[in-house]
Structure 1
Amino acid sequence: MREVTIILVLLFSSSLVAAFCPLDKIHRVGHCSYRIVCINTISDINLDSECQGSSNYNVQVDVILQNASDTFHVGADPELFTMITTLSIHGNWPRTELSFLDNMYRLRNLHIINNNIQQIFNSPFQNLVSVENIDLSYNRISNIEDLFQFETRPFKMHSISLAHNSIVEIPGYAFEELSSLVELDLSYNYIRELREEPFSNLTNLQVLRLNNNKIKDLNGALHNLLNLRHLYLRSNEIQKFDMGTINTINHLETFDLSKNLIETIDPTLFPRHWKHLSNNSICRIMLSDNHIAHIPNASIEVFERFRRNSNKPIYVFTKLDLSNNSITNIEYNAFSLMQIISIDLSNNRLTDFIVNADDLIYVRYLNLSSNYLNRLYYESFSSMHNLQNFDLSHNYMEYFPDQSLSNTHSLKYVNITYNDILELHSLRITFHPEGGYLDLSNNGLSSLIIPENEAIGLKELALNSNNISDAYLIRLTDQHNLTRLDMSNNFIVELDESSLQLPEKLDYLDISFNDIYRIAPSAFIRLNNLQTLRLSHNQLKVIDHGVFRGLSILMNLDLSFNEIGQLDSKVFMDLKMLSLLSLRNNGLNILDNDGWLSRKQDLTVYLDDNNLSCTWLAKALTDFNRGYSRMHPSVLKPVLTGNSIQGIPCKQEVQNLEYPSAKYMTDERLLIINQNILEAVQEQTSLLRKFMWHSILQDAERKTALNVVQFA
């Protein structure tokens, strides 16, 4: 039985004009389902007979048409256009009637994006009885008065996008026939005024995007949007809103009024976002980047009225964003009735944070950064048992607010960077069972002692950019869960065997960007679980033998940006598992790699910006490539100019000492020749050794035979 195949065939015209729908742009993606890319026009496409006009199969023909004029359909087969279900067109049509849509009664998705359309005449969509989505974004359309008129009301219409156009006014009956519409995007236009009429029939609308316009007042435009769930009004010129503004919208899940000109908040507004929402719903209220200075108490009266009219308990959570305002005062019961799980108050003017703790029971994320706080109050935090992420950075705290956080047992991340903390006497907090991260960087700490019964569960600690000059004053041996420690950007000058009072479980230590000039032998002896050690950007000139004693499983060592001119690889003999070594930007002249010849696993050594000779580098690369050595010279950034081999910079020796004016070789081809000569010498040496060994064996055999004859 002959297998039936469904093929789209593009017929070439007898003229010399290029194909309109190239065969390599025709893709079958399923049974009676095709994806086609055409140029200039859609022509001479034949579907298999069982898919043409079929009611038994869900025929889908998605066409992308490029470089088309709006009359591309003239002379084309109208039957072909009836088969298209998705059409995306790219062209340049300042004024158009979109007359090619007349016979496309199966069209479901239409995308005419970025076509420079300024005006659309008549009502081109009136015959699209199956249309679901129309996208006219990124054009220059200004008039939409008669645009969405239909012979038969389009009950399947789901979404319309007119974003990024030039619309200034929405006519009263522009969307009258679109009662089935679920999503409407009018963002990035020039709309100044809203009225009720254009939206009065959009009773099924769930998503309305009016962001990035010039709207000053809602004027009751949203009163009939009974099913609206997501309202975006960001980046407008709205100065006020109240209960009357969104009188009938009681169930918004997203309410974005950020980046407007709002100065006051109506306390009766927030409870209205709870009604009709299902349990465990999350309501997002975004009021960032306004001019709000005061957060009043919530309206208990309004809440009680809604609660009495509700037949079920209310379990709706709220994410509230009030960042980038001018808030100086928050009343005690401001967050009542909202069941907040996230609140962002960053970049305001708060000098204190005193609120009803019972209103913050569910809070997981709290951002108080970039304010003027110098203390916290236990009463506000006493019930925050669910707090996980707390940001107190960029304030004026002089001590760690450990008493305020003593009742929290779920903390995962605490950020207290950029404060005025000079010393810490206690850290009575408990982190999440999975471990917690504490960032105390950019303060004034010179010492820190955390006993065993404090900072329980601390896994990562950042102490970078403080005033630490003596590492011995950072005593963390009792922090048995601590695995990562960052002490970079401090003033540590020396390390000895007693300097690092750190837990044995530590596997990552960063002491880069300090002033370390000397590391005594056995300085890291107690850190036998360390896997990464960063010592870059210090003042090290010499690495003594035994410095890395005890680091038997260290895998990554960074010694870059120091002043190590000479280095003996034998100082790394204790690092059996080392796989990455960075020696970048040290000015290395001599690197003796004999200590690596017996390594059992590969070691990558980064050598950017050093002064090693090309002869040494050529030999090291040859030894690695031939398997004599497991040390692989490499760079992070290969160089393209100057002396280099395989992108690794090197210094070429003077070739003729009798003539001091002789120049260094600069041609990389000579360096490659030099490397090949070294390889040839090594090969000849190997052959000579084999020949000598063979000769010795032959002499021994002759002597043995002679002795046998004499004995006989």
Structure 2
Amino acid sequence: MKQVIIIILILIASTTVLCYCPKDKIHGIKKCSYRIECIETIKDIRLDNECTGAANFDIKIDVTLRNATDSFNLKADTDFLSMITTLRMFGNWPRTDLPFLDSMHRLRNVYLTYSNMQKINDSPFRNLINLESIDLSHNSLSEIEEIFQFDIRPFKMRKLSLAFNLIEEVPGYTFEALTSLQELDLSHNLIKELSEEPFCNLTNLVVLRLNNNNILYLNGAMNNLTNLQHLYLRHNQIENIDMESLKTINHLQTFDISNNKIEILQPIIFSRHWDHFDDGSIFRIILSENQIVLLHNATDFYDRFKKKLLKNEVQLITQLDLSKNSISHIEYNAFHSIGRLASLDLSNNKLLSFNVNSEDLMYVKYLNLSCNSLNSLYYESFSLMHNLQNLDLSHNLMDYFPDQSLSNTYRLKNLNVTYNYIEEIHNLRITFHSEGGVLDLSNNGLSTIYIPVDEALGLTELILSSNNISDAYLIRLADQRNLTKLDMSKNFIQELDESSLQLPNSIVCLDLSFNDIRVIGPSAFHRVNQLKTLRLSHNRIKSIEFGVFRGLTELLNLDLSYNEIELLDSKVFMDLKFLSVLSLRHNGLNFIDRDSWLTHKYNLKVYLDDNQLSCDWLAKALSDFNNGYSKMYPTVLVSTISGHSIEGIPCKQEVGFISDPQAKYMIDERLLITSQKILKAVQDQTSFLNKFVLRSYRHGADPDLVK
């Protein structure tokens, strides 16, 4: 038997070696278009006859070759190699001439990544005039000046990637033959300087990636790149942007120079040249993670900018990211030269105030001022910000809500004021977006909120979690007729009665989880009778009295998990006619009287993880549901695989006695009622027989027949 197994393994191994390009790895995409995967070499491939050498079809053959040596072509089918249009190879060739390329004159795309190439000799791409893209990324190349020499310039060449190598220098003549190049990726290398202007002839270049290098100066290296639109220089060592380099930078659509060492920012860097852009073009200027301290006025550049803008009638949209700097002051006209500033990120700076010309911010939709040291806002800075939709003021030093400053912002959708020091709110003079707005005030010191009528118009969601609310009565929101969601989780509320929730009946989702609620009185939720979701998890509720949920006829989801409820009578849920999900997880429940659920109109899914219900109770509940006698379906979020369980639901196995006194009492009561019914039936039957015998005797029936 052992010898047979060895022979089979040898046969399998030999088959694997001989099958360089398995048939199940040859996929036809469309007519004369194939995707093939091979190992070690490329051979034994058969294509449709009409696709071999035919001029009537655009033949596309995409081959992926793994575990290949750079001389794999010596074993390959030479004729087939000449037909390959896209080649992806993975091997281990520290020094190579890439000799296989001589047999592939139809190559359009070549990907030679993750192959440990340290040195490529001569110019292996010399004769490949049909090339469109070359990817040599993720190798260990340090010298590249001789690689891209061609006998005839490859005018179809569009993309070249040399990312993730060890390149330190880029000589001036490196890319002189690649004049048609549109995208060049030199990111994640060791380049320090660009003094030889290696890009001077790449006039068609649109995207240039030089991020994650050690570049100190730009030295005007991009000045001839008149069509460049996207320049990525993040994570270098650049300290200053010289005036020569600005000739190119001012017509970029994406300028990412984040994570450098820039300290002084010239305002001209914000102005854009728009002659070759379409109306509505979006410009992204990313200056985050530098060492900028001050933003100077841009008034000197404004006149020239304004004249050209009016002349061309081009509407530009600018997104500016200045986050994670050390900005402590912004001069009043710092954003004067920016066309249609739509997004401004000033988060994680050292701002003590934000006093700027509101005219420069009138198109801003997104403003991030989080993680600063602001303690107030200036009305003048926001008075013309009629387009503001998202404002982040979190992680500042505000001890009052700045509603007067925001009274002219009519389109707010999201307002984040978390992690401040606001303790009370008595006015909220803000008009939110007509589609609704969200106000997040979590993680303050709030204990009291009163919003008068006709204020906070359009507010649909209010988040008050992680504050100091101990009395829900002090959250006075009854006039907020648009409010649909209220989150008061993670506070210190201990008790709820019928006057506690001063809320509008428009609320459909109320979160009171993670409080200290122990007592809930009858009709506590009568003001919010449109609720569909109520969360009361992670409190200290031990019992639920009749009438607690009175009036909640629309409720669909109720979460009572992580409380201390041991006994539960289903009659307390009788008003919840539409309840579909009830979570009772992690309570330590010993018994649930489910009689009131037997006539529930809709399926009610009850989650029972981590409780102490008996297996007898659970078996009966599941049986009733499965047989259609009950709409209550016991289940769990996480099925148990250990201990006693039924259908993955944990239960407590009773041995010889009933441990729960109330359950025992109810069983005894049921037995008594049943016995009484049987006795009554026997009595009725005896009485009927006596009457029948007496009647028969009176009418002269034969006594023996009656017997």
TM norm. shorter chain > 0.5: yes
- Return the letter of the residue paired with 1:38: C
**Identical aligned residues as a percent:** 61
- Return the letter of the residue paired with 1:369: S
Deviation track 1:2-56 (CA, whole Å, cap 9, x = no partner) reads xxxxxxxxxx999884412111111111111111111221112122222122222
Determine if contact 1:38/1:64 at 8 Å carries over to the other structure. yes
Q: How far, CA to CA, are the matches of 1:581 and 1:15 in structure 2?
A: 59
Q: How far, CA to CA, are the matches of 2:116 and 2:372 in structure 1?
A: 46
Give the equivalent residue in structure 1 for 2:570.
569
Give the equivalent residue in structure 2 for 1:328.
328
Q: How far, CA to CA, are the matches of 2:92 and 2:622 in structure 1?
A: 58
Q: Which runs of 5+ in 1 are unaligned?
A: 1-11, 661-695, 697-702
Give the equivalent residue in structure 1 for 2:680.
none
Q: How far, CA to CA, are the matches of 1:64 and 1:578 in structure 2?
A: 56
**Alignment partner of 1:61: what SS?**
strand
- Return the letter of the residue paired with 1:110: V
Deviation track 1:47-85 (CA, whole Å, cap 9, x = no partner) reads 222212222211111111122221111132222112111
Q: Which moved more, 1:536-545 or 1:85-94?
A: 85-94
Q: CA shift at 1:230, angstroms? A: 0.3
Q: How far, CA to CA, are the matches of 1:612 and 1:15 in structure 2?
A: 60
Task: Please report the TM-score for the alignment, with normalisation by the length of structure 1.
Answer: 0.88
Q: How far, CA to CA, are the matches of 2:310 and 2:571 in structure 1?
A: 78
Is 1:560 the counterpart of 2:541 in the alignment?
Answer: no
In structure 2, the CA distance between the partners of 1:79 and 1:391, relative to structure 1 (3 Å rule), is: same
Q: How far, CA to CA, are the matches of 2:364 and 2:121 in structure 1?
A: 54
Q: CA shift at 1:189, angstroms? A: 1.0
Deviation track 1:330-354 (CA, whole Å, cap 9, x = no partner) reads 0010000202110000011101001
- Return the letter of the residue paired with 2:583: S
Determine if contact 1:243/1:266 at 8 Å carries over to the other structure. no
Q: How far, CA to CA, are the matches of 1:203 and 1:627 in structure 2?
A: 76
In structure 2, the CA distance between the partners of 1:220 and 1:425, relative to structure 1 (3 Å rule), is: same
Is 1:598 the counterpart of 2:574 in the alignment?
Answer: no
Give the equivalent residue in structure 2 for 1:103.
103
Q: How far, CA to CA, are the matches of 1:210 and 1:142 in structure 2?
A: 15
- Return the letter of the residue paired with 1:438: L
In structure 2, the CA distance between the partners of 1:16 and 1:365, relative to structure 1 (3 Å rule), is: closer
Determine if contact 1:250/1:275 at 8 Å carries over to the other structure. no
Q: Which moved more, 1:295-304 or 1:112-121?
A: 295-304
Q: How far, CA to CA, are the matches of 1:558 and 1:262 in structure 2?
A: 53
Q: Which moved more, 1:450-459 or 1:240-249?
A: 240-249
- Return the letter of the residue paired with 2:487: D
In structure 2, the CA distance between the partners of 1:13 and 1:578, relative to structure 1 (3 Å rule), is: closer
Aligned ranges 1:200-349 → 2 under 5 Å: 200-274=200-274, 276-301=276-301, 304=304, 307=307, 312-338=312-338, 339-349=340-350
CA RMSD of aligned residues (A): 2.4
Give the equivalent residue in structure 2 for 1:390.
391
In structure 2, the CA distance between the partners of 1:591 and 1:178, relative to structure 1 (3 Å rule), is: same
Q: CA shift at 1:620, angstroms? A: 2.1
**Alignment partner of 2:107: what SS?**
coil
Give the equivalent residue in structure 2 for 1:521.
522
Deviation track 1:268-287 (CA, whole Å, cap 9, x = no partner) reads 22224545433211111000
**Alignment partner of 1:199: what SS?**
coil
Determine if contact 2:41/2:75 at 8 Å carries over to the other structure. no
Q: How far, CA to CA, are the matches of 1:200 and 1:306 in structure 2?
A: 31
Determine if contact 1:533/1:556 at 8 Å carries over to the other structure. yes
Q: How far, CA to CA, are the matches of 1:417 and 1:529 in structure 2?
A: 28
Deviation track 1:121-156 (CA, whole Å, cap 9, x = no partner) reads 121111111110111111111111111111110000
Determine if contact 2:39/2:66 at 8 Å carries over to the other structure. yes
Give the equivalent residue in structure 1 for 2:58.
58
Q: How far, CA to CA, are the matches of 1:248 and 1:88 in structure 2?
A: 35
Give the equivalent residue in structure 1 for 2:8.
none
Q: How far, CA to CA, are the matches of 1:308 and 1:456 in structure 2?
A: 40
Q: How far, CA to CA, are the matches of 2:303 and 2:316 in structure 1?
A: 13
- Return the letter of the residue paired with 1:408: T
- Return the letter of the residue paired with 2:238: I
Q: CA shift at 1:623, angstroms? A: 2.4
Determine if contact 2:344/2:368 at 8 Å carries over to the other structure. yes
Give the equivalent residue in structure 1 for 2:638.
637
Q: Which moved more, 1:121-130 or 1:201-210?
A: 121-130
Give the equivalent residue in structure 1 for 2:180.
180
Determine if contact 1:419/1:442 at 8 Å carries over to the other structure. yes
Give the equivalent residue in structure 2 for 1:684.
none
In structure 2, the CA distance between the partners of 1:457 and 1:329, relative to structure 1 (3 Å rule), is: same
Determine if contact 1:447/1:468 at 8 Å carries over to the other structure. yes
Give the equivalent residue in structure 2 for 1:444.
445
Q: How far, CA to CA, are the matches of 1:13 and 1:83 in structure 2?
A: 30
Q: How far, CA to CA, are the matches of 2:424 and 2:196 in structure 1?
A: 61
**Alignment partner of 1:622: what SS?**
helix
Q: How far, CA to CA, are the matches of 2:609 and 2:308 in structure 1?
A: 73
**Alignment partner of 2:214: what SS?**
coil
Q: CA shift at 1:172, angstroms? A: 2.1
**Alignment partner of 2:49: what SS?**
coil
Q: CA shift at 1:309, angstroms? A: 10
Q: How far, CA to CA, are the matches of 2:412 and 2:15 in structure 1?
A: 73
**Alignment partner of 2:271: what SS?**
helix
- Return the letter of the residue paired with 1:80: F
Determine if contact 1:230/1:253 at 8 Å carries over to the other structure. yes
Q: How far, CA to CA, are the matches of 2:477 and 2:605 in structure 1?
A: 32
Give the equivalent residue in structure 2 for 1:435.
436
Give the equivalent residue in structure 1 for 2:197.
197
Give the equivalent residue in structure 2 for 1:581.
582
In structure 2, the CA distance between the partners of 1:225 and 1:98, relative to structure 1 (3 Å rule), is: same
Q: CA shift at 1:615, angstroms? A: 2.3
Q: CA shift at 1:609, angstroms? A: 1.4
Q: CA shift at 1:299, angstroms? A: 4.8
Give the equivalent residue in structure 2 for 1:616.
617
In structure 2, the CA distance between the partners of 1:563 and 1:248, relative to structure 1 (3 Å rule), is: closer
Determine if contact 2:107/2:128 at 8 Å carries over to the other structure. yes
Task: Please report the TM-score for the alignment, with normalisation by the length of structure 2.
Answer: 0.89
- Return the letter of the residue paired with 1:235: H
Determine if contact 1:61/1:83 at 8 Å carries over to the other structure. yes
**Alignment partner of 2:245: what SS?**
coil
Length, aligned pairs only: 654
Determine if contact 1:445/1:467 at 8 Å carries over to the other structure. yes
Q: CA shift at 1:198, angstroms? A: 1.2
Deviation track 1:180-200 (CA, whole Å, cap 9, x = no partner) reads 000001111111111243111
- Return the letter of the residue paired with 1:614: C
In structure 2, the CA distance between the partners of 1:241 and 1:626, relative to structure 1 (3 Å rule), is: same
- Return the letter of the residue paired with 1:158: R
Q: CA shift at 1:629, angstroms? A: 2.2
Q: How far, CA to CA, are the matches of 1:331 and 1:134 in structure 2?
A: 47
**Alignment partner of 1:110: what SS?**
strand
